[in-house]
Amino acid sequence: EAVTDPKLSVTGLEKTFDGITAVDGVSFDVQAGEMTGLIGPNGAGKSTTFNCITNLIEPDAGSVVFDGQDVTGLPTHRVARTGLVRTFQIARELREMTVLENMMVSSKEQTESAIHAVTPGLRENVRTEEEAILEQAWETLEFFDIEHVAHEYAGTLSGGQRKLLELARALMADPDMLLLDEPFAGVNPTLEERLLDRLHALTDQGYTFLIVEHDIDLIMNNCVRVLVMHQGQLLAEGAPETVRDDERVIDAYLGG
């Protein structure tokens, strides 16, 4: 197997909240075009790790290198511009917008259009750009089979549809890599199947995923590599079959 540079490289990540060390020197790599799972008992530090990677929470120490570029300390929106994006729950104000509007406001090009719009002589470009965004929005909604709810308010969607929209919105930012924090929580089996199918399709297209999930079997059955966190530290990593039989992993889950 050829050795390639990792897509994402996290080194020595640390975060302490008022004396509680949530992330305690975590280092790992994620390879391009792979679906990597991050599991661990409640409170292991998985979400904090995600938040530190995209600088939603400022880490106390550590570095994050994405695509060979040091993105440590960059504001979250600038990290996103490099292609590293995490999904977000649909916030209150977005629930009062339609699904299509959610897609439009999420677009990276949307921000760029806003800049063009105030520049005289570029109106023609703005229109074609907006048309392109609209087309991308519809295509993405169709990809997830949620185009029939495009004009519904996001707040009226089912839990599963909302999770699909969260991923669809993230794709509007044209990422290369997506961080998903519990994307299957509250999703019924039918939509879970659809979401998994789309994640595999996107992986085949070259997207890279890091997925936090409490359903261990789901991660073991769908990810090529698994990272296990426990008490703020990386306990184990490797292929699902290796990690599954690791005694430290078994102990961590049984020990709570």
List contacts with Mg ion (CB under 5 A). 46-47
| Partner from Mg ion, ligand ADP, none contacting 175, C-beta within 5 to 8 A by type | none
Contact 82, 69 (CB under 8 A): yes
Beta strands in the chain (DSSP E): 8-17, 20-30, 35-39, 61-66, 69-70, 84-86, 177-181, 208-212, 225-230, 233-238
Contact with ligand ADP (CB under 6 A) among 9, 27, 31, 47:
47
Query: What's the closest the beta carbon of residue 231 comes to Mg ion, in angstroms?
Result: 14
Cβ-based nearer residue to ligand ADP, 39 or 167:
39
Rule CB under 6 A: is residue 22 a binding residue for ligand ADP? yes
Burial of 152 (0-12, 13-18, 19+ CB in 10 A): middle
Cα separation of 83 and 85, whole Å?
A: 6
Angle at 222 between CA 218 and CA 227, to 5 degrees: 80
Taking the least distance from each CB to ligand ADP, the nearer of 13 and 170 is 13
Residue 45 vs 175, nearer CB to ligand ADP: 45
Whichever of 45 and 160 has its CB closer to ligand ADP, that residue is: 45
Paired with 26 in beta bridges are 13
Number of residues this chain uses to bind ligand ADP (CB under 6 A): 11
Nearer to ligand ADP among residue 33 and residue 41 (C-beta): 41
Question: Residues 40, 62, 183, 240: which binds ligand ADP (CB under 6 A)?
Answer: 40
Residues in the site for ligand ADP, rule: CB under 6 A? 17, 20, 22, 40, 42-48
